Structure 1
Amino acid sequence: MKQGSPNSNPAAEAPESLAALLPEIASLEARAGAGQFEQALQREIRRRQGRLADGVLAYQRNDVQRTLIDPPSVWREGNTRLLDYGATNRAARKRGTRAVFVVPSLINRWEVLDLTEEKSLLRAMAAAGLRPYLVDWGAPNAEERGFDTTAYVARLERALAFVAKRARRAPAVLGYCMGGTLAVALAARRPRRVAGLALMAAPWDFHADRTGHAFLLSTGPLLAEVADKVGELPVDILQTLFWSLDPWLAVKKFGRFIGMDPKGEHAKEFVLLEDWLNGGAPLAGPMARECLIDWYGNNTPGTNKWVIGGRRVVPAKIKVPSLVMIPSGDRIVPPLSAAALADPKKGLKNTRRIDLPLGHIGMVVSSRARELCWTPLIEWISALPVRRSRVVTG
């Protein structure tokens, strides 16, 4: 049975704040007349609850499923594997093709990057002559439930070494969301194995804009204790954290869904995105504690105090060519948090910044994603200078 999640529709990532609701409440009060406002308000609440319930039920009954076949796995360690998106694409198999090491978030799975044949950033990159190697984290096994950020970055280092050896040159590294944060640490530790660093909505300064994360900040210590005791932070808790960013979103998006043609393309994309959001993996206990306490609580990345394998990760010391893409409508990663990596003084050196009028998910799958995000990203990676294999051994 499918479960409703509050965050999928890329066109609805902006919150419906109390200020935005005030005119509607005033209009409702005027129509109701003196003394009848409360009754009218209750009727409106019941109406919206009914539309939410109807929308969730319609989603649960919809039989749309992702049908794309995953590319072959070429490397594995624990439950992590590398998927070669160039293996079945002639353009990506040409000699000298630029390899791209793609790092998604540890929480939501990678399928949003390959949702349908038409809405697939990874397949678009392969069609353009790049060869993406995607990190599929999987769900943490018994050993991986003890992983912290150092362990995950160390695994990325080994996977990157495999790709560099296979491609005979340093690949570009692309990180999305939390995967971008980990990619920064990877570039800091292995700069000679990185031809360029592209970041899509990667959080860095976790105190740059805390207004949207009040619930997460207040519950962080308690949730860290849960992760310590359970050994992981369960998916249901992670979904609640996402829901707290915009509690009105579920009402709005499921209300719209019941007005869609259940067999149409919009309904199909809605269901696939909802399935993706509901199919996330739990977060390993030590990793969850670092995210909640060190990142959100103490802002260790944003203050240059984040330590990986005994070394601080300092963006200003990373000199590889970098691209920082910031969606202005992002509710999951505040734009100011991601923008810290493009700061001329404290951010990455040799960087280009692109601001996008899109949301966190919309930058990947919306109708404007190809034009505004995919195309400049692919062009930037394609233009990177070649770094031969002799410089990727260190």
Structure 2
Amino acid sequence: MAAITRFKLPVTNLETERERWHQLYNVLHEPKPEIKSSPRQSVWRKNKSVLWFYPAQEKKHDVPIFMVYSLLNKPYILDISEETSVIGNLNKQGYDVYMFDWGSPGLEDKGITLDNYVLDYLEMAVRVALRHAKAPEISLVGYCIGGTLSAMLASITDLPIKNLVLAAVPIDYSDFILPDKWVKAMHDGTLSLDRMIDAYEVIPSEFLYTTFLALQGFNIGPNVNLVTRAHDRKYVDKWRRMDKWTRDAVTFSGAAFKQMLNDLYKDNKLVKGEMTLAGKKVDLSKIKCSLLVITSTRDELVLESQSLPVMELVSSEDKTYQLVEAGHVSICLTGQFAFAVEPWLSTRSKF
């Protein structure tokens, strides 16, 4: 009589599997996680915008940091959890940090332009930060479109910007992530969103959320990873925070959106030296402060070729280019951004 071999699955595997499906159920049915910010205070408000101050845990650096996130998303990705907070980790490393929250415009804000955002909002906020910090100089750190606006400001302002950091920043719009036919149609004028913008006046958050997903090719990778790693509580927490932030989109002023599409995406005026804000020519060669440009190897939204040209366009003698192993959002979600900029800033943050 042949022997019968019996196989018994390890109990730990069953426990892991039970935990995985239990966690997956919870993710799909529980309320979105609460995002608690690092210790902060509001130091200035304008319309829907807020300037936040995050004091260093133990101040070690003279020059404060002023962070500018994109107009297209809410900035709390920079302070998404206690462990991975970009701002929190900079505070731990001894920096006072200011962060400008653009807010989400209402219908009454439909006429706000990029000119207004750069000169009436951002420039004023930096002036307030300098006064609040009692500092003679500041480090301006711009991310994505926030970096584009920071570069514009640095080229036309008399503010004492000691260091400029541009991360995942679109500067050259001759090449960007869209199907080639769409890019060609936008450049030759056969594709225009002007009428849609005029109809909506303020771009709905749902439109920007869908556009964000489309530019990533409706990436299902994170959802697949959730199924396979749902037993990993640490991963699940990170996934839930990312999912909340992605869906928590902002609205966008119609005037600024139209200007961005036509002046940047269509006509590429920033690189050509044809961009003006309130009659002031935006000339990137006017930038002479220390410059750090950071791009990511897996950036699914901003191509490296969009960021690199700024290295040649500025007049800075002290300029550094850094390529990091990360994605467009993951560099902030994981807190890696803080550790990418800190070594460079630490040697340039004394008066």
Once residues 243 and 218 of structure 1 are traced to their aligned partners in structure 2, the CA distance between those partners, rounded to angstroms, is 21
Residue 384 (str. 1) matches residue 348 (str. 2):
yes
Query: What secondary structure does 2:131 align onto?
Result: helix
- Answering whether residue 197 of structure 2 is matched by residue 227 of structure 1, we say yes
User: Which of the residues 311, 325, 335 maps onto 2:294?
Assistant: 325
Q: Matches of 1:328 and 1:134 in 2, distance apart?
A: 26
| Superimposed CA distance per residue, residues 274-328 of structure 1 (whole angstroms, 9 cap, x where no aligned partner) | 1101112111001110121221111111212111121221212210111111112
Q: TM-score, normalised by structure 1?
A: 0.75
The 5 Å alignment of 1:177-196 reads: 177-196=144-163
How big is the shift at 1:267? 1.1
Moved more, 141-150 or 171-180: 141-150
Secondary structure of 2:65's aligned partner: strand
Taking the aligned partners of 1:143 and 1:193, their CA distance within structure 2 comes to: 33
Q: Give 1:386 deviation, angstroms.
A: 4.5
Say if 1:214 and 1:324 are closer, same or farther in 2 by CA, change over 3 A.
farther
Question: How high is the TM-score relative to the length of structure 2?
Answer: 0.84
Q: Which moved more, 1:221-230 or 1:153-162?
A: 221-230
Residues 242-294 of structure 1 deviation map (CA, whole Å, 9 limit, x = unaligned): 222233513x3222212232671111111111110111211100111012122
User: Match of 2:133?
Assistant: 167
Instruction: State whether structure 2 residue 330 is matched by structure 1 residue 362.
Output: yes
1:255-334 to structure 2, matched below 5 A, reads 255-261=224-230, 264-334=233-303
Q: Which amino acid aligns with 1:165?
A: R
Q: Is the counterpart of residue 115 in structure 1 residue 84 in structure 2?
A: no
The sequence identity of aligned pairs, in percent, is: 22
Question: Against the structure 1 CA distance between its residues 207 and 266, is the aligned structure 2 distance closer, same or farther, given a 3 Å change threshold?
Answer: same
Matches of 1:214 and 1:194, distance apart in 2: 40
Distance 2:36 2:72 in 1: 21
CA distance in 2, matches of 1:363, 1:347: 25
Q: Which moved more, 1:264-273 or 1:356-365?
A: 356-365
RMSD after superposition: 2.5
- Quickly say closer, same or farther: Cα 1:261–1:108, change in 2 above 3 A: same
CA contact (8 A) 2:80 2:241 kept: yes
In structure 2, the partner of 1:353 is 321
Which residue in the other structure is 1:106 paired with? 71
Residues 215 and 117 of structure 1, relative CA distance in 2, 3 Å threshold: farther
Shift of 1:150: 0.4
* Structure 1 pair 234–315 and aligned structure 2 pair: CA distance change class (3 A): same
Q: Give 3-state SS (helix, strand or coil) of 1:113's partner.
A: helix
Provide the secondary structure at the position in 1 that maps to 2:197: helix
Structure 1: any 5+ residue segments left out of the alignment?
Answer: 1-54, 388-394
Unaligned segments of structure 2, at least 5 residues: 1-22
Deviates most, 157-166 or 241-250: 241-250
Specify whether residues 216 and 120 from structure 1 end up closer, same or farther in structure 2 by C-alpha distance, changes over 3 A only.
Answer: farther
Larger mean Cα displacement after TM superposition, 210-219 or 262-271: 210-219
Conserved 8 A contact 1:177-1:202: yes
Preserved CA contact (<8 Å) 2:62 2:350: no
1:267 and 1:216 mapped to 2: Cα distance?
37
Count of matched residue pairs:
322
Cα distance change of structure 1 residues 213 and 316 upon mapping to structure 2, 3 Å threshold:
farther
Mapped contact 1:101–1:171 kept (Cα < 8 A):
yes
Q: Residue 22 of structure 1 corresponds to which residue in structure 2? A: none
- What residue is the counterpart of 2:4 in the other structure? none
1:144 pairs, out of 86, 95, 109, with 109
The 8 Å contact of residues 185 and 313 in structure 1, kept in 2 or not, is answered as: yes
